[in-house]
Amino acid sequence: MAQVVLDKVNKKYDNGFHAVQDLDIDVADGEFLVLVGPSGCGKTTALRMVAGLEDISSGTLRIGDRVVNTLSSRERDIAMVFQSYALYPHMTVFDNIAYGLKIRRMSSTEIEQRVRKAGDMLELGHLLDRKPKQLSGGQRQRVAMGRAIVREPQVFLMDEPLSNLDAKLRVQMRAEISEIQRDLKTTTLYVTHDQTEAMTMGDRVALMKAGVLQQLGSPQHLYDHPDNIFVAGFIGSPPMNMAVARLIRSDGLSLQLAETVLPIPESVVRARPGLARYVDRDVAIGIRSEDMEDASLARDDAPESRVRAKVALTEALGSEIVVHFDVAAPKPVTADTKALDKDAQTSDVPVAHRGNVFVASFGPRSRVRPRDDIEIVVDRERIHFFDPDTGHAIRD
């Protein structure tokens, strides 16, 4: 068991592309750290540097108490699960799992014992004689896991191991991998572009954008306290609703969101002294869908928490009703939002073409219909504030 420390690690490819910039990450001993970000942000590059498959241009990489920058993969005592699984097609499942042990000249009884144990753990026992092409996608994935487990390495590295599975299997394997990691307590660096995986699996999450670390913290911390618009928009599904509003002073501070004036509670202003600098200026605000509720369902709310809207679309999911409505205030436009839009276009989330559509999730007993004029209660304690130019969270 060991910790992994990346200290100002950089990667410049031969063509001059700076794929990873000053990356500082420390994975504690036994921790499950998820490295997440849109595709092309340098996650794989970072992981491959840890694995020893890619040279480190500058910075220090420590595994345990050794600096391993110049050590080869085999000397780093790591195991890696590839996105493609990279099973050896000419070997049986048993030989695939045993390969790393045979290379290390382990005795055959010990190999047998370890492979059987891993096979049982992953329910591969009856498949050990098969070749990879005789396995389903999920089974191949397990073999790839088994290969990593039997080695009993200091660190697991996983590069989007679930991205080739269908949705249902992905959910199942997500739980299994988490469970195995908890049992073995092996330090794990896990790369994914799927924020759900990051949220559900990681002890902590490191979010990257364009080669730069944006925020590192527990999933809940990133969700509740995003450092910038990019983190706010990337973490959470549906993505956080964003709009540009004007901060005005009337009694306390208020937000003018198109026609609506929404007073900001005193406690919020106190927690964010920086807000005072934005009086009579625009701010970008973010509201999560669950922080809005149908006013007819919410009982004890202050009347000033209410905003009016016209419903564009409803999606009844049983446990909740997802309500889309137009907001007259524009979306903020920063480098972060552009990066988010680009990511959304490459994923399967539909992009609203024009205007600013908010998404709220109402309780299942809400009776709203498309084209209804409704009142929405906003949890004003939980509004996020960002600088509309830099995208940084406004705090102090």
What does the binding site for Mg ion look like in residue numbers (CB under 5 A)? 44
Q: Please identify which residue in 11, 43, 114, 151 interacts with another protein, judged by CB under 8 A.
A: 151
Q: Is 168 in the site for another protein (CB under 8 A)?
A: no
Q: Is 161 in the site for ligand ADP (CB under 6 A)?
A: no
One character per residue 46-75, x = contact with another protein (rule: CB under 8 A): -----xxx------------------xxx-
- CA atoms of 385 and 245, how far apart (whole Å): 10
Sheet of 356-362: strand order equals 292-294, 373-378, 306-316, 321-327, 356-362
Respond yes or no on whether the N-terminal peptide bond of residue 89 is cis (omega within 30° of 0). no
Runs of H (alpha helix) within the chain: 43-51, 73-76, 93-103, 108-121, 137-150, 167-184, 195-201, 219-224, 229-234, 266-271, 335-346
Cβ neighbors of 347 (< 8 A, separation 6 or more) are: none
- CA atoms of 232 and 224, how far apart (whole Å): 9
- CA atoms of 13 and 8, how far apart (whole Å): 16
| 165 contact, one of another protein, Mg ion, ligand ADP, none, CB 5-8 Å limit per kind | another protein
| 23 contact, one of ligand ADP, another protein, Mg ion, none, CB 5-8 Å limit per kind | none
CB nearer to ligand ADP: give 50 or 376.
Answer: 50
| 209 contact, one of another protein, ligand ADP, Mg ion, none, CB 5-8 Å limit per kind | none
State the minimum distance, in angstroms, from the CB of residue 112 to another protein: 18
Cβ neighbors of 267 (< 8 A, separation 6 or more) are: 381
Query: Total number of residues binding another protein (CB under 8 A)?
Result: 35
Q: Is 12 in the site for ligand ADP (CB under 6 A)?
A: no
- What residues make contact with ligand ADP under the rule CB under 6 A? 13, 15, 17, 19, 37, 39-45
- What residues make contact with another protein under the rule CB under 8 A? 51-53, 72-74, 78-80, 82, 84-90, 99-100, 103-104, 131-138, 140-141, 147, 151, 164-165
